[in-house]
Structure 1
Amino acid sequence: MRVVIMGGGKVGSFLTEILEANGHRVTVIERDRALCESIASRTSATVIEGDGCDMRFQEEADVGSADVFAAVTGDDDDNLVACQLARTHFQVPRAVARVNNPKNEKIFNRLGIDAISSTTVIAELIEERTTVGDIITLHTLKKGRLAVVELDLPEDRCRSCNVPLRDLGLPQGCVLVSIIRGDEVIIPQGESVLQPGDTVIAVTEPEREAELKRILAG
């Protein structure tokens, strides 16, 4: 499968690595030259320096021949514009977007764009398969029985940092899926230790979400 990703930050970089590891061909469109160089040095993805909201760069990325277009920047407006361009002008079969403000999710969905706020689930939507064993599936997520939480740990006074995960007393029904540390993606184990500035992606029962956030981020 061929996937074009707009956005080469933490989410786009992580997503590129996941999809490449599963044998997909990936093209990344990113404005920042340093991020472009970082992705190009660590992956075999085709990297285009430019604005994914601009038709010229989507054309250069050959969005028209892609199976999926995924917009995963930190700006919901940009993600919406880029997905709409990919759908209406290049007729991409599927558009997936990262939504940073949950209030925007219904707008994206009404326009035929798969909208979600977790990197892991974006990969899930693209591949249509489960990546965390039997713990989560799209069905349970869509039914609201589980919540996907993405947390940035504070740089200072991080109470959960430098403590083995097994000793944090995480609530029952919560599973840490991944730790993103700079350019590194870590699959957490009981002995894993969080560090200030880490991004943590977790799956939890909705009623445990506040407790999980309190333990991890204070």
Structure 2
Amino acid sequence: MSKDENTLILGIGGVGMHLAQRLVHEGYPVTVIESDSELLEAAAESLDARLICGNAMQLSSWREAHAQDMGLMIAATNDDSTNMLSSLIADRFGIERKIVRTRSIDLMDGSILSPEDLKIDLIVHPEELVAQEIFRLVQRASCNDLTPVGDGNMRVLAMRINEDSPLLFKTPKELSATHSEYNFRVMAIARGISTIIPQAEEQIRPLDQVFIMARTEDMMPLMDMMKIEHKNIEHMMILGGGLVGKRVAQLLEKEVEIKLIEKKPERAEELATKLNNTEVIHGDGTDANLLVMSGLDSTESFIATTGDNETNIISCLLAKHLMNRNNRDL
């Protein structure tokens, strides 16, 4: 992407604002079309970009933005249909690349309308990305996550170190000496927010996430030799039945027993009909009594996915206080 290539952003909400700030910071010329005058006023205070008060569905706004001179269009409004139709409009104006943000996953593989039909070069599903990342973290937090690499010839074991772990306070050098009959390597250690490429004398500490690579045929015997159990999270509670909460439940409900708490009665009823293997509970997730009555004490993982950051933080703190912290993850 050339530094002098013009970028048109539709929508200056959370996603649009973040993208605009990043692009401006890196020196790209940015033009924004936004219909909300209050958002534009707030953006004008911190954003060095051309801001146009207009509607993405009005061609006059596109002409005012000189859309024919743009090399990239990013549709980041809160309306999926507007974003998708904007790609067709951008194509008519000759904009070479079109990136569209959508909340719905209906345009994924198998949809009647493909991205090519809508002239979309890249579709971004923020909620889907968040749900997939939560899914990945849950699998990793389940204690031991085995991932195939190298065309399946190798396996990477990711495991959380607790006080009973046989790897606790051991070093890669000691592990290699003790289990010399297997070829393996301690590839990395995730400690807090840091990732360490361990030296031979690096000691494994409590709460570390350790990544071990070995040949596929050696991994299970190696785990048995190290007395490492391959276990999974069996019970989970999700707070919030929005797009992210619903998608996380869909991804995990065949493997994990899930209880989902939703505050809105209509949404709770809808989720109950669409999630076949998830127990949907109508109630307020910040209510300690509700959490306890819903089985929080037997839950191994608690995930807050409401649309309110304060609610997510408070509910996680409350759940952390109420839960037995042995092998629990939030």
Classify the TM-score, shorter chain. 0.5 to 0.7
Instruction: Pick one of 1, 6, 9 that aligns with 1:2.
Output: 6
What is aligned with 1:115?
123
1:86 to 87, 90, 103: 90
Q: Give, in whole Å, the separation in 1 of the partners of 2:78 and 2:131.
A: 13
Whole-Å Cα distance in 1 between the matches of residues 22 and 252 of structure 2? Answer: 28
Structure 2 counterpart of 1:140? none
The answer to whether residue 303 in structure 2 is matched with residue 215 in structure 1 is: yes
**Residues 207 and 80 of structure 1: CA distance in aligned 2, closer, same or farther (over 3 Å):** closer
| Partner Cα separation in structure 2 for residue 23 and residue 65 of structure 1 | 17
CA, structure 1 residues 32+91, in 2 after alignment: closer, same or farther (shift >3 Å)?
Answer: same
> What is residue 148 of structure 1 aligned with on the other side?
129
Aligned twin of 1:28:
32
Residue 103 to residue 207, structure 1, CA distance change in 2 (3 Å): closer
Which SS does the other structure have where 2:32 is aligned?
Answer: strand
Tell me which structure has the larger Cα radius of gyration: 2
- Whether the 8 Å contact between 1:108 and 1:115 is mirrored in structure 2 is no
Aligned match of 1:19 = 23
1:143 is aligned to none
Give the aligned partner of residue 58 of structure 1. 62
Q: Deviations over 1:94-127 (max 9, x none)?
A: 11100110113453513220211139xxxxxxxx
- Number of aligned residues: 144
In structure 1, C-alpha distance between the alignment counterparts of 2:21 and 2:95, rounded to whole Å: 22
Residue number in structure 2 paired with 1:97: 100
- Contact preservation (8 Å) 1:173, 1:208: no
Instruction: Give a deviation string over 1:51-70, Cα, whole Å, max 9, x none.
Output: 01211101111111111011
3-state SS in 2 of match to 1:215: strand
Question: How far did residue 215 of structure 1 move?
Answer: 2.4
Secondary structure, aligned partner of 1:58:
helix
Aligned to 1:71: 75
Instruction: Give CA deviations for 1:37-60 in whole Å, capped at 9, x if unaligned.
Output: 111111101100010121110111
Structure 2: how far apart are the matches of 1:18 and 1:173? 31
Aligned AA (2:98): A
Distance 1:65 1:214 in 2: 49
CA distance in 1, matches of 2:32, 2:131: 22
1:104-162 CA-partner distances (Å, limit 9, x unpaired): 3453513220211139xxxxxxxxxxxxxxxxxxxxxxxxxxx72179xxxxxxxxxxx
How far 1:2 moved relative to its partner? Answer: 1.4
Match of 1:144 in 2: none
TM-score normalised by L of structure 2: 0.39
**Structure 1: runs of 5+ lacking an equivalent:** 120-146, 152-169, 175-188, 191-200
Give the residue type in structure 2 aligned to 1:215. I
TM-aligned CA deviation for residue 207 of structure 1: 6.6
Q: Using a 3 Å threshold, how does the CA distance of structure 1 residues 21 and 108 change in structure 2: closer, same or farther?
A: farther
Q: How much is the aligned-residue C-alpha RMSD, in angstroms?
A: 3.2
Distance apart, 1:208 and its partner CA = 7.7
The 3-state SS of whatever aligns with 2:27 is: coil
Cα distance 1:93–1:173, how it changes in 2: closer, same or farther (>3 A)?
A: farther
User: Unmatched 5+ residue regions in structure 2?
Assistant: 142-191, 194-243, 245-249, 259-300, 307-330
CA deviations over 1:57-92 (Å, ceiling 9, x no partner)? 01111111111011111111111122211112x110
Which of 98-107 and 43-52 deviates more? Answer: 98-107
TM-score (norm 1): 0.57
Q: Which amino acid is the alignment partner of residue 33 of structure 2?
A: I
**Identical-residue share of aligned pairs (%):** 26
The answer (yes or no) to whether the contact 2:75–2:100 under 8 Å persists in 1 is yes
